[in-house]
A and B are shown apart, each in its own frame.
Chain A
Amino acid sequence: MAFQLKVNGQARDVDAVGDTPLLWVLRDNLGLTGTKFGCGIAQCGACTVFLDGKPLRSCSLPVSAVGGAEITTIEGISGRESEAVQRAWVTRDVPQCGYCQSGQIMSAVALLKAIRKPSDRDIDLAMNGNLCRCATYVRIRAAIHDAARTLEG
């Protein structure tokens, strides 16, 4: 079945079975492999993308349900929050193996869009659905605080 998706600001034509997870379409059909498969059951957060600017687990949404919504992946995020997060991630050397980090960054950017100066609790509640087998959680939290501070200026 043919779908036309809006991905990272571009119209993309996709031929896929309607029940296919958006994640597979992004990775296999469109080659956007920055978004990762972790669990396939919305438990780990590795597949987080934005749908109309809101974070979403792309493994739990069939491509047929996307419609005309705007999809943003790790390859396409931009703006003050994403730049602040990117800088903070580099400064703090947050990733270890890196596999989960695109999902972590998407969730961190979404949090900073929602709460400009999040508390530790805000961070924990927003980020606990993004698992990290390397346990970089302490650096993630610190980096989000760093990013928030840079956004104050």
Chain B
Amino acid sequence: MDTKGQQASPPAAAATALRPVSAFAAIADERTRAIALFQEAAKVITHPRCMNCHPAGERPTQTERMQPHQPLVVRGADGHGAPGMTCATCHHAANYDPAGVPGHPDWHLAPLSMGWQGRSVAQICEQIKDRARNGGRDMAALVQHMAEDALVGWAWAPGAGRTPAPGSQAEFGALVRAWAAAGGYCPAP
């Protein structure tokens, strides 16, 4: 599976399902298997539900088309927005479909070091393994974040009018876990 030149945003046609880990078991070479597993997991990582809050700049995007967030908001010092206009000003503890506003108790942007927009799958792969950029997470912590973090999990329950990320968080977590177990190799840049 060649990933050269594959850009992470926006996806041309979002997948709705994930292939299970078992679908990759026949790939004997560990590196090849790890890369294939990451490519599958990248269907989630590059989905607008995830990418919108992993901007490469200070502003998030929104919608399937990853348009600039309206109103204008910024990451701020702690990822929770600017003083007086934090994420929680509009985004509350749960999705609120009557207003079309998604929510989660810890709604916030990923740190700038984890900005994914505009990067290739290969670049994102190296980025999320880099403890200098990923919040100091080792592989185990990274897998746990992907598989269990509740804000990550919002991507599969995004509220009315939003396409969920492909598959389920459990399936995504299993792919990431299997990728890590196979050596955590990344696609060629």
Which residues of A line the B interface, CB within 8 A?
A: 19, 21, 40-43, 45, 48, 54-57, 59-62, 65, 107, 110-111, 114-115, 122, 125-129, 131
B145 to A: closest C-beta gap in Å:
27
Residue contact A126 to B98, C-beta cutoff 8 Å: no
Choose from B74, B91, B98 the contact partner of A125 (Cβ within 8 Å).
B74
What size tier do the contact residues of chain B reach? 20 to 34
Chain A hits for B90, CB < 8 A? 42, 56-57, 60, 129
Chain A hits for B96, CB < 8 A? 60-62
A2 to B: closest C-beta gap in Å:
20
B88 at the interface (CB under 8 A from A): yes
Residue contact A114 to B84, C-beta cutoff 8 Å: yes
| Cα A54 to Cα B88 with chains together (Å) | 9
Additional 4 contacts, C-beta under 8 A, given A41-B99, A107-B84: A41-B100, A57-B99, A60-B91, A129-B90
Residue contact A61 to B84, C-beta cutoff 8 Å: no
Stretch at the interface among B46-54, B65-73, B116-124, B126-134: B65-73
Residue contact A122 to B83, C-beta cutoff 8 Å: yes
| Cα A41 to Cα B97 with chains together (Å) | 9
| Cα A126 to Cα B84 with chains together (Å) | 5
16 of the cross-chain contacts (CB-CB < 8 Å) are A41-B99, A42-B90, A42-B99, A43-B71, A54-B88, A56-B88, A57-B101, A61-B92, A61-B96, A111-B84, A125-B73, A125-B82, A126-B84, A127-B84, A127-B85, A128-B71
B123-157 residues at the A interface, CB under 8 angstroms: none
